[in-house]
Amino acid sequence: MNWVFPKNDGGRDSGFHDAGVETFKGNFDRYLARELIQNSLDARLDHGKPVHVKFELLALDRAKIPGMDYLQETFGRCADYWRDHEKVHAFFTRAAELAAQPRLSALKAGDFNTTGVPGTDGDRMQNWYHLIRCAGSSSKWGGEGGSFGIGKNAPFAASRLRTVFYSTLTADGCAFQGVSTLVSHKLPDGATAQPTGFLGGDRGDSIRISGHIPPEFRRTERGLDIVALEYPAAGTWKNDLIHSVLDNFWPAIDIGDLVVTVGDQTIDRSNLARLLAEFSGQEDFTAHLFYQAYKTPTQRFDEHLPTVKECTLFLRAGDMELPKRVAMVRKTGMVIYQQGYLRSLLPFCGVFLCRNDEGNRVLREMEPPRHDGWDADHPERNANKKVKVEYMGFIRECIRKLVSVDDSKVISIPDLNRFLPDDDETDEESFDAGDSQSKTETPDRSPLPEVIPGRKIDPRRQRMQPDNSTAEGQEEETETGEGEGTGGGPGTKENESDGGTGGGGGGVGDGNADKGEGGKGGAHSKPAVPVRYRTFAKDIGRGAYSVLVGLEGIGSKSVNLVVSTVGDDQKAPADITAAKMDDGADLPVAGLGMIGPIELSAETVHRIELTLAEPVRVAMEVSAHEA
């Protein structure tokens, strides 16, 4: 067998950031399980039995992998061609070193009770052509899972060599092919090569004779094996894949359509509930809550919608830990996404299930390439707005029914009018008609507390004052020693201390940004930067909160964020133990309530995940200062 990288013949160069591969980078374990299992469910052979998908970690002898010498040399040529691009050069230099190892790791995903992948290299109506020979296409139609041909790139994101082997056995015979998605590079004859190469016959054709397929890749039962070469397996690889399987496919497993084996752990209907319970304590795992709502709902609603047709909503209410979300599921039995932003007086979670063919087809058309949402503007703007309004209206109406109508009687509370504001349109005497009690006395005829005199404060001016404001004429000082001037007047008092005050009347200080030379640093010692923000409680039990923040105006800027917990009449710096971006990158916690530096822009809303030292529910305020 040989590796064949076709010549570019004057075409444009292809760089490292292949769009299909980049789609699944990051948490590739999650997407790998989603895409491979979804494809296997689409190819189910005997509908009376479940599809079985097995994930195995392999250690392959280099000598038994065909074409490794040429592939190693190709990595070197890729590194040389892109030597002026540091990251690309480093990747392929490392790939050449990995390819030289006597043993290479690999992740093998094989399915059983499936049809395999039928077709030849040139049959454009069959799955083999779309899987191996064509980018961005799919032969799937109707209610099948994938329809963009993008999911086949997920295994390449899980390979440190961007190399994947395919081996299938169908009713028509066997096929084997290696595919490597690299970058443009020079061939040994000096010509420029295309980025994608094929391991096979003289022209890169797939191998169709069973005896010519290496034993390590040969199938003996109908189905498909996908082997990602040099899989970056961490010590938690099994846990990560099982987490993804449970999170995404618990409906298919419970229905009886799917069995998954990861290493030595098999997941099926018999142990699904136990495994969900075991994983319930892991971070970001909520599948057990939706499973409980599906199995033991507080209420179940069956409906025939005009477009989506027959569908069912399972709702479970009552427990404080319930996330107020609905898992959206269609015919494949995969959780497409979790619908949030659903208002309810009661904590709840639910499962929306649509398994009829017509509704499944409509919903599938609304999914983006990663199949992780139903978009009203997909495949074009407002194309499915009516559909989304239809099923979301049904869901919201069902959630409202969770709260029973209040049939309690009206009761009279004596002297309640003393604690409520006056209503100009209501006869005051009607509140305590017939009661001769003086309004200077309590119900037991004892005198009311004496009113403490004081001056009125303009509410608009009060909102502009810091929560720790001091008496008029006094200086004030923040906890870190920086000035926090309270007024806008032309005050004349100068700063005298390190990070001194701005003066009661405005002084030299400008709000929280002390401009005195004695400032010792910290967020408040730099000019304030206007930001817009929102905060959300994510998991109160862990003290986890999400903060959405972006710059006001235009451009971008490096800032330090100051996060405060806010009460009715005061605020305090938030005691933050950890801060991360939504991509998992850690943010430095510079001090009590301070995070940064972080690069913010006006065009992007940035999500930051915070963990507080105390698991309490609080309101938060966010401000920013130049880093």
3-state secondary structure 418-484: HHCCCCCCCCHHHHCCCCCCCCCECCCCCECCCCCCCCCCCHHHHHCCCCCCCCCCCCCCCCCCCCC
Structure-derived torsion over alpha carbons of residues 477, 479, 483, 484, reported in degrees to the nearest 10: -80
Which residues are paired to 619 by β-bridges?
Answer: 566
- pLDDT confidence of residue 97: 97
Band (pLDDT 50/70/90 cuts) for residue 64 is very high
pLDDT at 228: 95
Angstrom distance (rounded) from CA 439 to CA 446: 11
* Residue of 136 and 336 predicted with greater confidence: 336
Q: Determine, yes or no, domain membership for 535.
A: yes
CB 336, CB 330: distance < 8 Å: yes
State yes or no: cis peptide before 118, omega within 30 of 0. no
- Predicted confidence at residue 480, as pLDDT, reads 39
Range of 67's domain? Answer: 2-246
Dmax over CA atoms of the chain, in Å, equals 109
Contact call for residues 330 and 363 (beta carbons, < 8 A): yes
Pairing assessment for the beta strands 258-262 and 51-61 based on DSSP bridges = parallel
- Residue whose C-alpha is closest to residue 156's, from 11, 35, 332: 35
> Does residue 222 share a domain with residue 77?
yes
Q: Given this model, what pLDDT does residue 581 score?
A: 87
- Residue 436's pLDDT band, with cuts at 50, 70 and 90, is very low
Contact by Cβ (8 Å): 38, 371: yes
Do 218 and 306 sit in the same domain of this protein?
Answer: no
446 by Cβ neighbours in 10 Å (0-12 / 13-18 / 19+) ranks as exposed
- Quick check: 239 and 33 in contact, CB under 8 A? no
Lowest mean pLDDT among 201-205, 298-302, 497-501: 497-501
How many structural domains compose the chain? Answer: 3
Q: From CA 561, how far away is CA 596, in angstroms rounded? A: 6
Same domain for 343 and 213, yes or no, is no
Instruction: Please indicate, yes or no, if residue 503 is contained in any of the structural domains.
Output: no
- Average pLDDT over the chain reads 81
In a domain, residue 422? The reply is no
End-to-end CA distance of the chain: 58
Of 396, 428, 461, the one marking the end of a domain is 396
281-285, 416-420, 489-493, range with the lowest pLDDT = 489-493
Confidence of residue 219 (pLDDT cuts 50, 70, 90): very high
- Judged by average pLDDT, the poorest of 202-216, 382-396, 399-413, 500-514 is 500-514
Most confident among 134-148, 326-340, 565-579, 590-604 (mean pLDDT): 326-340
492 within some domain: no
Quick one: pLDDT band at residue 417, thresholds 50, 70, 90? low
pTM above 0.75, yes or no: no
Residues 613 and 559 in one domain: yes
Structure confidence at residue 541 (pLDDT): 78
pLDDT reported for residue 298? 93
Is residue 447 scored above 70 in pLDDT?
no
Same domain, 175 and 319: no
What pLDDT was estimated at residue 463? 39
Statement: residue 495 has pLDDT above 90: no
Higher pLDDT: 137 or 86? It is: 86
Q: Are residues 167 and 315 in the same domain?
A: no
Note the pLDDT of residue 527: 84
Residue-wise pLDDT for 311-322, tens only, equals: 999 999 987 789
314 and 200 together in one domain: no
- Burial of 335: CB neighbours in 10 Å, binned 0-12, 13-18, 19+: buried
69 Cβ contact list (under 8 Å, min separation 6): none
- For 213, the 3-state DSSP assignment is coil
Q: Is residue 606 part of a domain?
A: yes
In a domain, 18, yes or no: yes
> Are 209 and 301 found together in one domain?
no
Within 10 Å of residue 432's Cβ, how many Cβ atoms?
Answer: 16
Q: What share of the chain is helix, strand, coil (3-state, %, to 5)?
A: 25, 25, 50
67-95 pLDDT, tens digit per residue, is 999 999 999 999 999 999 999 999 999 99
* 245 contacts: CB under 8 Å, gap ≥ 6: 33, 37, 253, 260, 262, 267
pLDDT band at residue 557 using 50, 70 and 90 as cut-offs: confident
pLDDT of 404: 54
Report strand pairing: 348-353 vs 325-329: parallel
Burial class (CB in 10 A: 0-12, 13-18, 19+), 259: buried
Chain CA centroid to CA 311, Å: 26
Residue 534, pLDDT > 80, answer yes
Q: Tell me whether the omega of the peptide bond preceding residue 379 falls within 30 degrees of 0, making it cis.
A: yes
Please work out, in degrees rounded to the nearest 5, the angle formed at the alpha carbon of residue 303 by the alpha carbons of 298 and 306.
Answer: 150
Quick one: 226 and 305 in the same domain? no
| pLDDT exceeds 50 at position 106 | yes
The whole-number pLDDT of residue 600 equals: 86
> Are 224 and 297 found together in one domain?
no
Of 396, 412, 437, the residue that ends a domain is 396
Contact 523, 513 (CB under 8 A): no
Residue 4 has pLDDT above 60, yes or no: yes
User: In the structure encoding, which two tokens stand for residue 179, read together?
Assistant: 């595919």
Residue in 221, 225, 213 with CA at minimum distance from that of residue 64: 213
Residues 376 and 316 in one domain: yes
Q: What stretch of H or E contains 245?
A: helix 237-255
Same domain, 134 and 235: yes
